């Protein structure tokens, strides 16, 4: 490892809490964390304790809000089916909303756990 990568890596080891707190600032938080790392019950560490994020919002919506809605968010490339398809942030958000609606129609609510089998 050399150069900038090594510098970043070294900092992540030397000051893990500061490093990850700085990285976490680039996300949208509904509630900011109370503590970056709770290591009081090692090896059962808790990161960003007290914080609350919406993963879907951070993956899609915030990019759309920042004007990237028509940019490619996902490129599906299957050599098995010889299919290549590009999903923009807008389209991917709409597909995610459609799936969420289907799950809701099946009675899935907040706190439920769902396994979606996705064969190769």
Nearest one of 59, 50, 117, 109 to 89, comparing CA atoms: 59
Q: How many domains does the chain have?
A: 2
HSE (side-chain half, CA atoms, 13 Å) at 14:
6
In a shared domain, residues 43 and 65: no
HSE (side-chain half, CA atoms, 13 Å) at 35:
8
Residue 119 pLDDT class (50, 70, 90 cuts): confident
In a shared domain, residues 45 and 64: no
Residue 18 lies in a domain: yes
| Residue 2: per-residue pLDDT | 72
DSSP 53: -
Residue 74 lies in a domain: yes
Whole-angstrom distance, CA of residue 56 vs CA of residue 65: 13
Residue 120 lies in a domain: no
Residue 114 lies in a domain: no
Domain span at residue 59?
Answer: 55-105
Residue 45 lies in a domain: yes
Taking only the tens place, the pLDDT of each residue in 36-92 is 999 999 999 999 999 999 999 999 999 999 999 999 999 999 999 999 999 999 999
Residue 90 lies in a domain: yes
Average pLDDT over residues 87-116: 96
Taking only the tens place, the pLDDT of each residue in 7-44 is 999 999 999 999 999 999 999 999 999 999 999 999 99
- Would residue 46 be called left, alpha or beta, if left means φ above 0 and alpha means ψ between -120 and 50 degrees? beta
In a shared domain, residues 74 and 90: yes
Residue 72 lies in a domain: yes
In a shared domain, residues 39 and 65: no
| Residue 1: per-residue pLDDT | 62
């Amino acid at each position: 490892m050399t150069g900038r990568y090594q510098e970043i890596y070294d900092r992540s080891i030397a000051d893990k809490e500061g490093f990850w707190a700085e990285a976490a600032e680039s996300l949208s938080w509904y509630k900011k964390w109370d503590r970056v790392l709770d290591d009081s019950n090692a090896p059962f560490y808790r990161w960003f304790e007290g914080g609350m994020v919406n993963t879907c919002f951070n993956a899609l919506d915030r990019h759309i809000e920042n004007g990237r809605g028509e940019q490619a968010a996902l490129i599906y490339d299957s050599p098995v089916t010889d299919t290549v398809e590009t999903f923009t942030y807008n389209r991917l958000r709409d597909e995610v909303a459609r799936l969420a609606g289907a799950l809701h129609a099946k009675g899935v609510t907040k706190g439920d756990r769902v396994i979606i089998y996705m064969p190769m």
